[in-house]
Amino acid sequence: MRGDLAAAVHAEALKLRRSRVPWATAGATVLAGLVGAFFMFVLQDPDRARTLGLLGAKAQLAGGTADWPGYFSLAAQTVAVGGLLIFGTAAIWLFGREFSDRTVTDLLAVPTSRTAVVLAKLLLGLVWCAMLTLLLVGLVLGLGALLGLPGWSAATAARGAGTVLGAGLLTAGLAAGYGLAASVGRGYLPAVGVLFLTVLLAQVLAAVGHGGWFPWAVPALLSGAAGPGRSGVGWAGILGVVLVALGSAAATALWWERADHR
């Protein structure tokens, strides 16, 4: 099994390296970091915020603060909400491309086990999401320093970076479900439909105060999207995210082992 997994990881890594999708997701992450920096730039000067109309009003209503804790909090929310779209796209591509490009039968003809193929895709997806999250943390540190945000300390940076990475890990786990949807749906479109449905439900349920029991809303709530100290998420919510991640991975491996891929 170990040899199969190593071979599968190598093959999947080659596909990833030759694709433009990782660059697209990295670009989206950089854009998110720049938008966050602009948000902080606006909040630094109330007069500047007023001249920007609705953007300035939204910044004030969101309760954001132009300091290091505020910037890290915004980055964590970006990962939790926008990460569902970016990480979900990564998972959908990893699994859906085999059906859209009609390479699934060729893939299954090799001696590598189907479970190893699934595990390789999931591992690469996790590494991919982790690298994107680290990219955002690096942007926050660099752009925050460029803006001269107040409130810097090593403890603040460690705590803020940990919050962003934690949100990224939880969101990456949820993305495994979109890989399952792309497999069962045999392509991109069904999985994209599931992606938008879960994002919509997460926003609606969080807005009405019931997001704590819906796993796809948990990372955003934990990152402070509902306001400081108002997440409404306990250990049961985090456990729900873990169960969805592990269950999706297991279900995907089982489906690939038993499904008729003709």
The whole-number pLDDT of residue 54 equals 46
Residue 248 per-residue DSSP state: H
Query: pTM (2 decimals)?
Result: 0.87
Alpha helices (H) in 62-153, listed in sequence order: 68-100, 104-109, 114-147
The distance from CA 11 to its chain's CA centroid, rounded to whole angstroms, is: 24
CA–CA separation, 254 vs 258, rounded Å? 6
Model confidence at 57, pLDDT cuts 50, 70, 90, reads very low
Q: Mean pLDDT across the stretch 45-50?
A: 66
The distance from CA 232 to its chain's CA centroid, rounded to whole angstroms, is: 21
The whole-number pLDDT of residue 59 equals 47
Model confidence at 91, pLDDT cuts 50, 70, 90, reads very high
Q: Mean pLDDT across the stretch 74-79?
A: 92
* pLDDT more than 70, % of the chain: 85
CA–CA separation, 28 vs 32, rounded Å? 6
Indicate the average pLDDT of the chain.
Answer: 85
- Under 8 Å between Cβ of 98 and 15: no
Helix axes 188-207, 154-184, angle to 10 degrees: 130
CA–CA separation, 209 vs 141, rounded Å? 32
The whole-number pLDDT of residue 51 equals 65
